[in-house]
Amino acid sequence: MKMRKIILGAVLLVFSPERFATYATRIGIEHEFINNAELKKAYPNEKAPPEVETEWHKHNYNRAITIRRAFFSSLVITFASIIIGIVIGLQLKSLIGNPSILTTNVIQVLGVGILLSATLSVVGSKIESMKGETLAEHIDRALFRWQYIIGSSLFFLALSWSS
């Protein structure tokens, strides 16, 4: 898929999920007619039936809402992690003073290590269910988020404490 379509799709998804659904439906159906000989044979005019378009639009809209919610919640979590790390670092600096280089390095390595652990330990598709709502899936995602929050906060704590 061309980058221009991806960028336009991303902008529409973030700012107008309804317009994204319409755009994604059009692109998806065009793609299906190009790659699906049976579909092309069944509909030689390359026009999908209205009920198919309606169903695709509904699914694309729901996907847009899900992705958009995840995107904005990740932004909030990221900024919260940065703020938590900076506030704690500044408090430590005012209470204890500047840390040693060793302390700063240990905190940074610990933070980056936790981020790496989160990335490598996420199970994802290996435990995926049809709806993605099992307890194991929720725990997998929660552990991933918690590790990212802690790792990011430690990293920014080290930066703000030592500066």
Helix (H) or strand (E) holding 10: helix 3-15
Opening angle at CA 75, ends 152 and 121, nearest 5: 50
> Taking the complete model, does pTM exceed 0.95, yes or no?
no
Can you read off the two tokens belonging to residue 162? 């030592």
Domain chopping of the chain, boundaries: 3-162
Is 81 within 8 Å of 152 (Cβ atoms)? Answer: yes
Give residue-wise pLDDT tens across range 47-81. Answer: 888 898 999 999 999 999 999 999 999 999 999 99
Indicate if the pLDDT at residue 38 is higher than 90. Answer: no
